[in-house]
Structure 1
Amino acid sequence: MNRQILNCLLCDHELQQNIGWKELLLNTLPQTICPRCEQRFQRIEHQQEESVVSLFHYNEAMKDYLHRYKFLHDILLAKVFSKTLHEQLKDETRLIIPIPMHPENLKLRTFAHVDELLKAAKIPFAHQLTKLSKEQQSLKTREERLKTPQLFEVINPTVIKDKNLLVVDDIYTTGTTLNLAKKVLLEAGAKTVDGFTLIHG
């Protein structure tokens, strides 16, 4: 049973949780951050890419959030966007595939950040990609990212054959990661591959 979150995960202010019949019947996820913190994140109104949907701009609040979540290893912060992600992906019919971490990087970080975002939002997903390189895209320049060789390998082509897929990552910067994932999945027999990220950098 999940422990109820009584204070904002970002600023620790007490949350005013009003869980009524509607919330219980619709099984909506509870609020995990206060309205003040929520307002600091900027939603994207117009999508920049046709085949990629991103939810938030990479502003100062988001930069701070990502630093705390990914680099200070605060796994509880996976719940910050659980309600938003659940609303966005709960009726998804495409097979959801998270961008994986290299096993060595996973050991260092202790958790797979994209997996945890989806788990917190109660969104089912399937691992169908393995990462071949432990180089981190965030440490590369834009030019270096654009020249990145293939990063991924498909685990089981029969599972994705003729399927519509949605590849999920935390942040879209140059599009290199999603484009390489899309390329390898289409080559392995996927019917269509679209992208989804929490943030557009």
Structure 2
Amino acid sequence: MKRYEVLNCLLCNSPLDEGVTWKTLLSNRFPRTICLHCEEKFEPCETESRESLISLYKYNDDMKGYLHRYKFMHDVLLAKVFRHQIQQQLSKKKEIIVPIPMHHAKLKERTFAHIDELLNEANIPYVHYLKKITTETQAGKTREERLNAPQIFALKENQDPGNKEFILVDDIYTTGTTINQAKRILLDAGAKSVKAFTLIRG
């Protein structure tokens, strides 16, 4: 497990009380990267009965600010903020972890794949089974436009999902269009089951 010493909160820059200690080095918990005050601003999602989708947090103003800094201001260090929570949820899963992919043009513009980085920081192995075939995004669309969006993914060459179990990982779930389209590609190619995990529920 990778260890980084973060001395100040990555969100508000206030000093952190907890540094790297023997306890954090010997345990499975990552050292803290944000202060308790910032951590308390994120609202956990209520546990849902359906196991096909797990989301960790609600999309409140503070989470909106986090996403803006991380994705659009290219603050890749913020991938560390939720690494412990993501690892707790995914590290013992038997399914293959599949990140929702970025289009190569968008990746070049942003310089990093934000879902991949969240998983990298949490030490979660993953495999790219999908590719994005359009630069079109769901942001800014109405609910009706999202639900009627054309297919934006395709199966990657030389990948066979046949009889395998998967967990799709994305940053945010709103109408479910992105997850459902990716899920359909895998199921149509023979996947045994496809679940989903997102950091945020919109």
Normalized against structure 2, the TM-score is what? 0.93
Confirm or deny: 8 A CA contact 1:44 1:54 kept in the other structure.
yes
Confirm or deny: 8 A CA contact 2:83 2:121 kept in the other structure.
yes
* Count of residues in correspondence between the two structures: 201
Q: CA deviation at 1:20?
A: 4.7
Output the CA distance in 1 between the equivalents of 2:77 and 2:171. Answer: 16
Is the counterpart of residue 124 in structure 1 residue 125 in structure 2?
yes
Q: CA deviation at 1:24?
A: 2.5
What SS is found at the alignment partner of 2:46? coil
Matches within 5 A, 1:29-178: 29-47=30-48, 50-156=51-157, 158-178=159-179
Look up the match of 2:197. Answer: 196
Is the counterpart of residue 7 in structure 1 residue 8 in structure 2?
yes
Confirm or deny: 8 A CA contact 1:114 1:169 kept in the other structure.
yes
Residues 175 and 48 (structure 1 numbering): CA distance in 2 closer, same or farther, change over 3 Å? Answer: farther
| Bigger mean CA offset, 12-21 vs 104-113 | 12-21
Confirm or deny: 8 A CA contact 2:45 2:57 kept in the other structure.
yes
Output the CA distance in 2 between the equivalents of 1:27 and 1:179. Answer: 33
Q: CA deviation at 1:156?
A: 4.6
Q: CA deviation at 1:109?
A: 1.1
Residues 144 and 78 (structure 1 numbering): CA distance in 2 closer, same or farther, change over 3 Å? Answer: same
Confirm or deny: 8 A CA contact 2:98 2:169 kept in the other structure.
yes
Output the CA distance in 2 between the equivalents of 1:48 and 1:179. Answer: 19
Normalized against structure 1, the TM-score is what? 0.94
Q: CA deviation at 1:47?
A: 2.5
Q: Which amino acid aligns with 2:171?
A: D
Confirm or deny: 8 A CA contact 1:172 1:200 kept in the other structure.
yes
Residues 198 and 168 (structure 1 numbering): CA distance in 2 closer, same or farther, change over 3 Å? Answer: same
Regions of 4+ moved over 4 Å: 18-22
| Alpha-carbon displacement from aligned partner over 1:59-90 (angstroms, at most 9, x marks no partner) | 01100000111111111111111111111111
Is the counterpart of residue 180 in structure 1 residue 176 in structure 2?
no
Please tell me the root mean square deviation across aligned C-alpha atoms, in Å: 1.7
Unaligned runs of 5+ in 2: none
Confirm or deny: 8 A CA contact 2:41 2:62 kept in the other structure.
yes
Identity value in percent: 53
